[in-house]
């Protein structure tokens, strides 16, 4: 089913645009309430709403809640809370729906809305398409009163703090919360476990979320780790479902390295369900090489952590994620959780007694280049004969020694290019050819 508004992770757009404003949020609330009723929910079904720290989050939350009330639901606000904590609250309180008002790693000028179903699971493409079909006309007059609030943080803090078998007394950790939703959660858990936490990106003002900090900008975290002699650095994105790390030398680990480290440790302990790690098309070929060398398996999905989760559920896997830092440990959380991922890595460090700089060596990456071209219009790729022809040609040349991935971003007006190959020079040459072909047929900004 084709969707008009939903992308790979909910609906996301610049705040004030046609699809990210209070009027549209109200319509979306009405539509998702109608969808719930279609699927057996009773009137007064509870919907829990969390948000990140963007200035636009409060008014969008209220408008969405007004729409939910109009559609027959009872919304509650959880306040500023990470995405995985909202999913946790949905399960703990047996709510019919979870909603997060966030644009994740995007700048503060954007915002977004994503949903969790009754089991704390993200919605499928078909469910999102049905919600779009139920969108009503313009907003009605009349608004309910203030939103009742619920505690969404206590259960989440308790469940995450219980993950480690030992305390972290004597550990020094740099924590970058991206001026976002994890500002009141991740640091609290680490401190309660005994760690000394050096904060970064911990002063949200509504306008500075992800601004030069967070998982998209790990440079400051790396510098602080080296300056303070920390054991590792942890960086989240604005809504807390991503984790990027750096080792004690300040060298950054992406999601592929974290996933490979966790998968191989679990495999060695006989605890990797189905001996399977689920990743997306974006992940480096080195991940497969590392797992297959010791009897593990790797399955790939389209880009998007919810596709990873769907495949994990289908195959009985408990570990999966994306190179961007979405790490899903389904034995703990129903969705990507940056804090859980960091704690799982720390657990491996405790179990092995080895520093992160050594543990990361399990992944030897194939040379890779990525590029994002901002485009005026997302023309269907199948209509770009020059670009698709170039892709076919280089795929033939690379054979099993590399791969090419060309796709549009599901959340931004960008064409994303990825090339892997046997040597850095080969990868660079192929990327230049792909970029030239793309620029010849697209209006690149």
Other C-beta atoms lying within 10 Å of the C-beta of residue 188: 17
Active-site positions read: 104
Q: Averaged over 242-251, what is the pLDDT?
A: 98
Q: Averaged over 419-433, what is the pLDDT?
A: 96
Superfamily classification of domain 11-152: Alpha-D-Glucose-1,6-Bisphosphate, subunit A, domain 3 (3.40.120.10)
Topology, domain 254-362: Alpha-D-Glucose-1,6-Bisphosphate; Chain A, domain 3 (3.40.120)
| Pairing of the two strands 97-101 and 46-51 | parallel
Percent of the chain with pLDDT over 70: 99
Are 319 and 328 contacting, i.e. CB atoms less than 8 angstroms apart? yes
Any idea where the domains of the chain sit in the sequence? 11-152, 171-252, 254-362, 368-441
| Pairing of the two strands 232-235 and 97-101 | unpaired
- Please tell me if the domain spanning 11-152 has the same topology as the one spanning 254-362: yes
Position 2 confidence tier, pLDDT thresholds 50, 70, 90: confident
What's the pLDDT score for residue 132? 97
- Counting every residue written for the chain, the total comes to 445
Three-state DSSP class for residue 173: strand
What's the pLDDT score for residue 178? 98
Percent of the chain with pLDDT over 90: 92
Chain segment 282-310, per-residue pLDDT in tens: 999 999 999 999 999 999 999 889 999 99
What's the pLDDT score for residue 144? 67
Q: Averaged over 404-422, what is the pLDDT?
A: 91
Question: Max Cα separation, the chain?
Answer: 64
Q: Residue 64 carries which DSSP code?
A: H
What's the pLDDT score for residue 119? 85
Structure tokens at 239: 């809504």
Cα 331 from Cα 350, distance rounded (Å)? 20
Are 357 and 311 contacting, i.e. CB atoms less than 8 angstroms apart? no
Position 337 confidence tier, pLDDT thresholds 50, 70, 90: very high
Are 195 and 173 contacting, i.e. CB atoms less than 8 angstroms apart? yes
Topology, domain 368-441: TATA-Binding Protein (3.30.310)
Which of 22, 213, 10, 18 is closest to 108 using CA atoms? 213
Topology, domain 171-252: Alpha-D-Glucose-1,6-Bisphosphate; Chain A, domain 3 (3.40.120)
What's the pLDDT score for residue 411? 75
What's the pLDDT score for residue 1? 61
Chain segment 137-193, per-residue pLDDT in tens: 887 665 667 899 999 999 899 999 899 989 999 999 999 999 999 999 999 999 999
The CA angle 197-251-213, to the nearest 5 degrees, is 55
């Amino acid at each position: 089913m084709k969707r008009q508004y939903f992308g790979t992770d909910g609906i996301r757009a610049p705040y004030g645009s046609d699809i990210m404003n209070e009027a549209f949020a109200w319509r979306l609330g009405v539509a998702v309430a109608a969808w719930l009723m279609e699927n057996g929910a009773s009137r007064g079904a509870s919907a829990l709403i969390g948000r990140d720290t963007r200035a636009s989050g409060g008014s969008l939350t209220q408008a969405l809640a007004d729409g939910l009330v109009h559609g027959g639901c009872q919304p509650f606000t959880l306040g500023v809370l990470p995405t995985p904590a909202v999913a946790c609250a949905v399960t703990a309180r047996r709510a019919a729906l979870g909603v997060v008002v966030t644009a994740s790693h995007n700048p503060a000028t954007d915002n977004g809305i994503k949903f969790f179903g009754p089991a704390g699971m993200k919605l499928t493409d078909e469910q999102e398409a049905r919600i779009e079909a139920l969108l009503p006309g313009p907003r009605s007059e009349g608004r309910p009163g203030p939103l009742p609030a619920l505690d969404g943080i206590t259960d989440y803090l308790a469940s995450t703090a219980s993950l480690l078998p030992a305390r972290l007394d004597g550990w020094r950790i740099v924590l970058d919360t991206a001026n976002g939703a994890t500002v009141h959660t991740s640091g609290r858990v680490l401190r309660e476990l005994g760690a000394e936490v050096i904060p970064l990106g911990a002063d949200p003002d509504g306008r500075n979320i992800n601004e030069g900090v967070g998982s998209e900008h790990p440079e400051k975290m790396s510098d602080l780790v080296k300056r303070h002699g920390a054991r590792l650095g942890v960086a989240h994105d604005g809504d807390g479902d991503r984790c990027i790390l750096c080792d004690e030398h300040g060298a950054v680990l992406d999601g592929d390295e974290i996933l490979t480290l966790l998968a191989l440790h679990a495999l060695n302990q006989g605890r990797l369900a189905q001996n399977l790690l689920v990743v997306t098309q974006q992940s480096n070929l080195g991940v497969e090489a590392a797992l297959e060398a010791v009897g593990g398996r790797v399955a790939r999905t389209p880009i998007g952590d919810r596709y990873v989760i769907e495949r994990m559920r289908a195959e009985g896997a408990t570990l999966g994620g994306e190179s961007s830092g979405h790490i899903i440990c389904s034995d703990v959380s129903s969705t990507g959780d940056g804090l859980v991922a960091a704690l799982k890595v720390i657990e491996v460090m405790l179990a092995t007694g080895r520093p992160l700089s050594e543990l990361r060596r399990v992944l030897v990456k194939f040379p890779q280049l990525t590029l994002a071209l901002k485009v005026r219009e997302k023309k269907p790729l199948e209509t770009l004969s020059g670009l698709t022809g170039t892709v076919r040609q280089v795929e033939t040349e690379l054979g099993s020694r590399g791969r090419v991935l060309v796709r549009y971003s599901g959340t931004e007006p960008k064409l994303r290019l990825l090339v892997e190959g046997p040597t850095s020079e080969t990868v660079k040459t192929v990327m230049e050819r792909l970029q030239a072909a793309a620029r010849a047929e697209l209006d690149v900004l």
